């Protein structure tokens, strides 16, 4: 094992660390990550493509479904405050992610940051949990889109066979129990996203950017047209459920104001990650928050909070003022828009899995990339298949119980790690520095822990089971096979021929903070 690894490795125990100084230049085995002959990813994403991926992951159900539900039953017009509070808390974590993204521009996001600063066992813990969390989010979103799709087909007079309309146990009243056997559309959506990602990151990002542009256009139409139907009397009372209702709403909508964390897993596919990733994280959150706030103002201004449809708030609001045609456009926009959330989180889970496998914590067989498209094809298809099974055969409530806790714990790890590394290695060049150190990261930690207390006992049970399985896998395989373990510093091999010339990538000779 090299002196560099030993210097920052933290010994041979479970808290050995990746050497931060070497992470940007090469994986632990030594070959440059961007080298196509050694299984690297393709550096193809520019600033606005990264920002579009972030916006695609943040804006989705938050506007088209969650805003109406929280306004109707939890916060009233103060749903605006709910989003602002959640946005401030999310920004505290976003600043920490931005600092790390500029300092360690590698695939893996919170897994890689935790591994480099807090040790291997912490990195494994977060990476293992994000594998399940991100996959579950893809499945939950697919189920949600499937519901909208079935509704629209029914409006057009098209009635599909009952067996393909939902998972077992989801039959509405009046429908024979057992009629629903699979949510076929949701399962096919998961496979479609996997297919899109396997086309290569350049092609996939172009499609994602176009869909995000369409989604933002729909949201802007909603805001501009809805502005002319606002009645200020609907804002009174502003806190019908009390100030506490606004903060309870913040705990709910918080899960609609992240997505940049999954986007940051694509750092290794950015043309200039050290400069672009921090900007993309901040830009995507800022753009999304502006749209969220304006949309909430329009929604609660068009209708009294008590009249807002909790399932299809905007479509119902526009139909109520005689704009049924626009309501249908919004419904279609919601379906297309929420699709981008699936893209961002499936991208996230495949890049976390790729990083863990490349580091030896999971079999390196998974880390092999396609020789031409330079994407982790094996991982992507497996993720698509698993998410399709969850989406096809689990009710949305059961699938949703698999989400949330891992992402909040990732926020805790990243916010803690940025404080630790700032004091441990103040000499490292940083292209972005978290403001208000250490107060801002501490806010991120405390808010994330507070939100964790709102999770249901079944979520904790699921987390405990998954954690135990993960510990078994780590101590039985990962700890021995890790590239930081003595004698194991071997780079994963690619399916690409060794003679294949690597594709050109952005120059890496300049120091991270030299611009």
* Pair of tokens at residue 425: 């290695």
Q: Phi and psi for 200 in degrees, rounded to 5? A: 115, 145
What is the Cα–Cα distance from 335 to 497, expressed in whole angstroms? 41
Domains and CATH numbers, the chain: 48-480 (1.20.1740.10)
Per-residue b or e along 76-104, where b marks 16 or more CB atoms closer than 10 Å to that residue's CB: bbbbbbbbbbbbbbbbbbbbbbbbbbbbb
What is the predicted pLDDT for the residue at 188? 92
DSSP secondary structure code for residue 496 in this structure: S
The pLDDT assigned to 163 comes to 67
Q: Residues 101, 261: contact at Cβ < 8 Å? A: no
Q: Is the model's pTM score more than 0.85?
A: no
Distance CA 94, CA 399 (A): 26
Low-confidence residues in the chain, pLDDT < 50: 1-11, 25-38, 490-515
- What is residue 282's predicted lDDT score, i.e. its pLDDT? 94
Residues in the chain: 515
pLDDT value at residue 512: 35
Task: Kindly report whether the peptide bond that precedes residue 237 is cis, defined as omega within 30 degrees of 0.
Answer: yes
**DSSP letter assigned to residue 307:** G
Compute CA distances 349 → 110, 177, 333, whole Å: 11, 35, 25
- In the prediction, which pLDDT does 514 show? 35
For the chain, state the CA radius of gyration: 23
The pLDDT of residue 6? 38
Nearest to 267 by CA among 70, 138, 111, 120: 111
CA atoms of 64 and 62, how far apart (whole Å): 6
């Amino acid at each position: 094992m090299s002196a560099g690894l030993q210097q920052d490795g933290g010994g041979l125990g479970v808290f050995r660390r990746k050497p931060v100084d070497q992470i940007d230049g090469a994986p632990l085995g030594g070959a440059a990550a961007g080298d196509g002959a050694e299984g690297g990813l393709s550096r193809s994403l520019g600033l606005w493509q990264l920002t579009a991926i972030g916006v695609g992951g943040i804006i989705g159900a938050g506007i088209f479904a969650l805003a109406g539900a929280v306004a109707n039953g939890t916060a009233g017009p103060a749903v605006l405050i709910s989003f602002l509070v959640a946005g401030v808390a999310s920004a505290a974590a976003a600043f920490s992610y931005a600092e790390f993204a500029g300092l360690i521009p590698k695939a893996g996001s919170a897994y890689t940051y935790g591994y480099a600063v807090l040790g291997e066992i912490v990195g494994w813990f977060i990476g293992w949990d994000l594998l399940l969390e991100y996959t579950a989010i893809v499945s939950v979103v697919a189920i949600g889109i499937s519901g909208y799709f079935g509704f629209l087909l029914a409006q057009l007079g098209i009635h599909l066979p009952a067996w393909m309309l939902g998972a077992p146990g989801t039959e509405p009243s009046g429908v024979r129990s057992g009629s629903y056997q699979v949510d076929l559309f949701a399962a096919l959506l998961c496979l479609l996203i996997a297919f899109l990602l396997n086309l290569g990151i350049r092609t996939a990002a172009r499609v994602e950017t176009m869909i995000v542009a369409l989604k933002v256009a729909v949201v802007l139409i909603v805001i501009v047209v809805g502005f002319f139907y606002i009645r200020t009397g609907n804002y009174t009372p502003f806190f019908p459920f009390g100030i506490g209702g606004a903060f309870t709403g913040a705990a709910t909508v918080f899960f609609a104001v992240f997505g940049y964390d999954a986007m940051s897993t694509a750092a290794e596919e950015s043309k200039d990650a050290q400069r672009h990733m921090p900007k993309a994280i901040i830009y995507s959150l800022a753009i999304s928050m502006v749209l969220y706030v304006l949309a909430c103002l329009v929604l609660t201004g068009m209708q009294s909070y008590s009249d807002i449809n909790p399932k299809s708030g905007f479509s119902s609001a526009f139909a109520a003022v005689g704009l049924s045609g626009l309501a249908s456009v919004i419904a279609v926009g919601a379906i297309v828009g929420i699709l981008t959330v699936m893209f961002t989180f499936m991208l996230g889970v495949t890049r976390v899995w790729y990083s863990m496998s490349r580091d030896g914590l999971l079999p390196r067989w998974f880390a092999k990339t396609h020789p031409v498209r330079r994407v982790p094809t094996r991982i992507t298809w497996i993720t698509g298949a698993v998410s399709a099974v969850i989406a096809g055969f689990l009710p949305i409530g059961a699938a949703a119980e698999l989400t949330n806790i891992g992402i909040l714990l990732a926020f805790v790890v990243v916010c803690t790690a940025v404080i630790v590394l700032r004091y441990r290695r103040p000499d490292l060049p940083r292209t972005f520095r978290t403001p208000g150190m250490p107060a801002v990261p501490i806010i991120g930690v405390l808010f994330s822990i507070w939100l964790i207390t709102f999770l249901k006992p079944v979520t904790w049970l699921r987390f405990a089971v998954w954690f135990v399985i993960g510990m078994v896998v780590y101590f039985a395989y990962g700890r021995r096979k890790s590239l930081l373990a003595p004698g194991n510093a071997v780079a994963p091999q690619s399916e690409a021929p060794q003679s294949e010339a690597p594709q050109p990538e952005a120059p890496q000779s300049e120091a991270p903070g030299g611009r």
